[in-house]
Amino acid sequence: MEPLLSIQQLTKQYNKQHTALAGISLDVSRGEFVAVIGPSGAGKSTLLRSINRLAEPTSGSIAFEGVRVEQARKKELRQVRANIGMIFQHYNLVYRLSVLENVLHGRLGHMSSFAGMFSRYSEADKEEAIRLLRKVGLENEIYKRADELSGGQKQRVGICRALAQKPSLILADEPIASLDPRSSKIVMDALRANCEEQGITCLVNLHQVDVAKRYATRIVGIKAGKVVFDGPPSELHEGYIEHIYEGKEHEQFSITNTEGISA
């Protein structure tokens, strides 16, 4: 079966000189939960952002659901983006809006810009948004303003917004980098469980190797814009970790510190 996402020889140079990605090839099948790890500056964000062309690839190809993303024109690209949910480190919520309205924003990608501006969300959209918020334990925050939430709660709203879009792929760029271990666990549990339940494929950038090992079905290690490890968590031995990080710091906090905490 054709992979959901097929990246071939992807290269990205910033300012025509700095190479952030140096020929990355990666096939991702439906249902995988892939953690992308690597030191700061390795190219993890650039990789994720290239997939829906928030960053323009310099060369190489990206096929998503059979569409060549790097060549896609406006309409095709809009369709690609509608099927890819994004989760950001700093949440990117609209803080003057309610939690519910933020989640409903996830539906916007499926409306044409004209319809999106003038139509109201359907009752079914609202019910679905509320169902998602309940599932991540935010049933008491639905009508609060987004800026009244804690970091972990904001990220759970970010997850619900991505899920409300009903994407086939979620790209999560360091979703727990700003969170403490307890909130990190709640957020990762919610992301993994919902993706699994809804058959959504996920690529998640992580700084914490132990979190990657705990949640991912596959780990991709990136160093200086190249893939240097690609395999199941059970194969990511200490030697590989040392090679990927080469003396650079990587965080190791969550497994030990969150043991025994339940969401």
Least separation, in Å, of the C-beta of 55 and ligand ATP? Answer: 7
9 conformational bin, left if phi > 0, alpha if psi -120 to 50, beta if neither:
left
Least separation, in Å, of the C-beta of 125 and ligand ATP? Answer: 33
Task: Among 1, 16, 17, 18, indicate the residue that binds ligand ATP (CB under 6 A).
Answer: 18
**Long-range contact list for 18-25, CB < 8 A, 24+ apart?**
19/225, 20/46, 20/225, 21/46, 21/47, 21/50, 21/57, 21/225, 22/224, 22/225, 22/226, 23/60, 23/225, 23/226, 24/60, 24/222, 24/225, 24/226, 24/227, 25/227
Nearer Cβ to ligand ATP (129/188) = 188
Q: How far apart are CA 134 and CA 86, in angstroms?
A: 20
Which residues from 212-241 bind ligand ATP, rule CB under 6 A? none
Which residues from 38-77 bind ligand ATP, rule CB under 6 A? 38, 40-46
Least separation, in Å, of the C-beta of 219 and ligand ATP? Answer: 15
Least separation, in Å, of the C-beta of 19 and ligand ATP? Answer: 8
Q: How far apart are CA 36 and CA 159, in angstroms?
A: 18
Task: Among 14, 31, 140, 198, indicate the residue that binds ligand ATP (CB under 6 A).
Answer: 14
CB half-sphere exposure, 72, CA atoms < 13 A: 25
Nearer Cβ to ligand ATP (138/220) = 220
Least separation, in Å, of the C-beta of 44 and ligand ATP? Answer: 4
Total binding residues toward ligand ATP, as defined by CB under 6 A: 12
Candidate segments 14-22, 108-116, 139-147, 160-168, binder of ligand ATP by CB under 6 A: 14-22
Nearer Cβ to ligand ATP (38/85) = 38
3-state secondary structure of 201: strand
Nearer Cβ to ligand ATP (20/149) = 20
Burial 51-79 (b: 16+ CB within 10 A, else e): bbeebebbebebbbbeeebbebeeeebeb
Task: Among 5, 7, 20, 34, indicate the residue that binds ligand ATP (CB under 6 A).
Answer: 20
Least separation, in Å, of the C-beta of 105 and ligand ATP? Answer: 25
Least separation, in Å, of the C-beta of 117 and ligand ATP? Answer: 30
Q: Which two tokens stand for residue 246?
A: 């080469």
Cβ(38)–Cβ(31) below 8 Å: no
Q: What is the identity of the amino acid at 100?
A: L
Find all residues with CB under 8 Å of 88, minimum gap 6, and list them.
Answer: 158, 173, 175
Nearer Cβ to ligand ATP (106/175) = 175
Binding site for ligand ATP (CB under 6 A): 14-15, 18, 20, 38, 40-46
